[in-house]
Amino acid sequence: MTRGTREPPGFSDFVAARGPSLVRTATLLTHDHAAAEDLVQTALAKAWPKWERTEQHEAYVRKIIVHEFARGWRRKWRGEIATETLPERPHPDGTDTVAAREDLMRALAGLPRKQRAVIVLRYFHDYSEADIAAALGISTGTVKSHASRGLAALRVSSDIADRAERQS
């Protein structure tokens, strides 16, 4: 067995423990669960050769996920074509949580990739501006401007504005 095919120590345990969280992050970025799983798989494959030299495994894999996403990972493949409406609702009892989440996901999907990455890392994972800057390889000033523009776009997003009007 060659060195590259042997599983690094702790890799399977990490994937089992942190995999769902990584997929959630990727889903927030890609707006597609299947694409998110593929993105996480790609990130794990890239992390594999350097696993034993890395101490902060989760931060390293998240950084790869964000970099792959931001640089247009799988830009040419569009996957399935989404339909206008879903055939059924997960909560037919009228709970609004799922619909609100769907509205937020649509609004996030409308943001440019870097703005979406900044918003996801900042508000869904509580990264500091410095941590986001390091993860994306940009300055903290650029992080601030991406966050500001992203939040402004979310505030005027028709998906979120329509929900606010229905609730008032």
Q: Chain-centre distance of CA 7, in angstroms? A: 26
Return d(Cα 168, Cα 156) in angstroms, integer.
Answer: 16
CATH topology of domain 97-167: Arc Repressor Mutant, subunit A (1.10.10)
Q: Where exactly are the structural domains of the chain?
A: 10-70, 97-167
Quote the pTM value. 0.57
User: How do the pLDDT tens digits run along the chain, 168 residues long?
Assistant: 345 468 888 899 999 999 999 999 999 998 889 989 999 999 999 999 888 888 889 999 999 999 998 887 555 555 555 667 655 555 555 556 777 788 888 889 899 999 999 999 998 898 999 999 999 999 999 999 999 999 999 888 877 766 656 655
Which ranges of the chain does DSSP label H, i.e. alpha helix? 11-30, 33-47, 57-70, 97-109, 113-119, 129-136, 140-156, 158-167
